[in-house]
């Protein structure tokens, strides 16, 4: 069943709620280690943090709230119980409440999109604002799948976002420069790195975040089967770069690029 699309009149009389999905990932400053059996990435004693793209989405939602465009920011995370820590970070930045869908299983983008669709139907937000991708798997698929499942407009890779009434105007970076789109709300918008610079949470806000509610849920509560459809065969580190060589002339360089490197 598709989520009901709010009418233009409803947007004018009711405050807009924003849903921000956030993911718990290995901190971007940490060097990733592959398990000896190559079954995955070693997470033991590794610092985890919010996915940087999701942090940017959270910051943008808070800025919209500061402008009076948004009345409530709901943050949702899917993952182990420790995902609550990621939600607390978003709450300290200015979000109002959180939902944690607890599972220790590996959740693929389609299953994530189905869970988010169920959350959207329950919460009825006017906008889903999310990172364009997660830095752990780099799939860049969840936002697009969610928009398709909901039947909502989508705008991806947003580097600028403006909202006026029931229309979101999104500037996105493309190969040829900048592209500007308008989308009727409700819509799904995925954000890029240049949208904003996330704030650091102040100590008072960190303390306040401890009192903000986080509602625990499970995939079964939403009736979503998260059984993986893909099997990870092997995870391996990229090959180490070999040292460079010196060439005597430009002709030798061109010859090596043709015969040895095969790049020209």
Which of 88, 69, 75, 116 lies closest to 201 in space, CA to CA?
A: 88
Cβ atoms 126, 18 nearer than 8 A: yes
The pLDDT of residue 142 is above 50? yes
Of 130-134, 151-155, 244-248, the range with the lowest mean pLDDT is 244-248
- At residue 39, the pLDDT reads 81
Cβ atoms 186, 46 nearer than 8 A: no
What's the pTM? 0.83
The pLDDT of residue 136 is above 60? yes
Cβ atoms 209, 75 nearer than 8 A: no
Cβ atoms 169, 161 nearer than 8 A: yes
Largest Cα separation within the chain, whole Å, is 74
Q: How confident is the model at residue 260 (pLDDT cuts 50, 70, 90)?
A: confident
Q: How confident is the model at residue 149 (pLDDT cuts 50, 70, 90)?
A: very high
The pLDDT of residue 178 is above 70? yes
Q: Please give the class, per CATH, of domain 8-261.
A: alpha beta
pLDDT > 70 fraction of the chain, expressed in percent and rounded: 94
The Cα 92–Cα 67 span in angstroms is 18
The Cα 222–Cα 243 span in angstroms is 53
Q: Strand 97-102 to strand 214-217: parallel, antiparallel, or no bridges (unpaired)?
A: parallel
- At residue 81, the pLDDT reads 93
Mean pLDDT across 153-171: 94
pLDDT in tens, 61-85: 999 999 999 999 999 999 999 999 9
Q: Would you mind telling me the total number of residues written for the chain in this entry?
A: 264
The Cα 264–Cα 257 span in angstroms is 6
- At residue 10, the pLDDT reads 47
If one counts every other C-beta atom within 10 angstroms of the C-beta of residue 81, the result is 11
pLDDT in tens, 211-231: 999 999 999 999 999 998 888
Mean pLDDT across 98-107: 94
pLDDT in tens, 8-33: 444 444 569 999 999 999 888 888 88
The pLDDT of residue 262 is above 80? no
Q: What average pLDDT does the structure give for the chain?
A: 90
């Amino acid at each position: 069943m598709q989520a009901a699309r709010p009418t233009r009149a409803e947007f004018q009389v009711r405050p807009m709620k924003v849903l921000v999905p956030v993911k718990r990932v290995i901190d971007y400053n940490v060097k990733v280690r592959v398990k000896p059996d190559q079954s995955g990435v070693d997470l033991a004693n590794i610092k985890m943090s919010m996915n940087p793209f999701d942090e940017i989405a959270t910051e943008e939602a808070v800025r919209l709230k500061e402008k009076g465009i948004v009345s409530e920011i709901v943050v949702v995370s899917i993952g182990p119980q420790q995902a609550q820590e990621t939600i607390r970070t978003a709450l300290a930045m200015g979000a109002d409440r959180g939902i944690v869908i607890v599972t220790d299983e590996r959740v693929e983008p389609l299953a994530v999109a189905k869970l988010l669709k169920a959350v959207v139907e329950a919460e009825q937000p006017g906008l889903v604002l999310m990172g364009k991708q997660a830095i752990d798997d780099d799939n860049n698929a969840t936002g697009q799948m969610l928009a398709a499942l909901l039947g909502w407009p989508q705008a991806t890779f947003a580097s600028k976002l403006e909202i006026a009434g029931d229309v979101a105007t999104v500037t996105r970076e493309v190969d040829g420069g900048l592209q500007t789109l308008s989308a009727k709300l409700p819509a799904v918008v995925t954000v890029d790195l240049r949208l904003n610079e996330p704030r650091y949470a102040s100590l008072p806000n960190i303390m306040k975040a401890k009192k903000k509610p986080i509602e625990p849920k499970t995939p079964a509560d939403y009736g979503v089967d998260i059984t993986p459809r893909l099997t990870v065969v092997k995870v391996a580190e990229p090959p180490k770069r070999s040292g460079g060589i010196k060439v005597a002339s430009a002709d030798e360089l061109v010859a090596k690029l043709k015969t040895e490197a095969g790049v020209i």
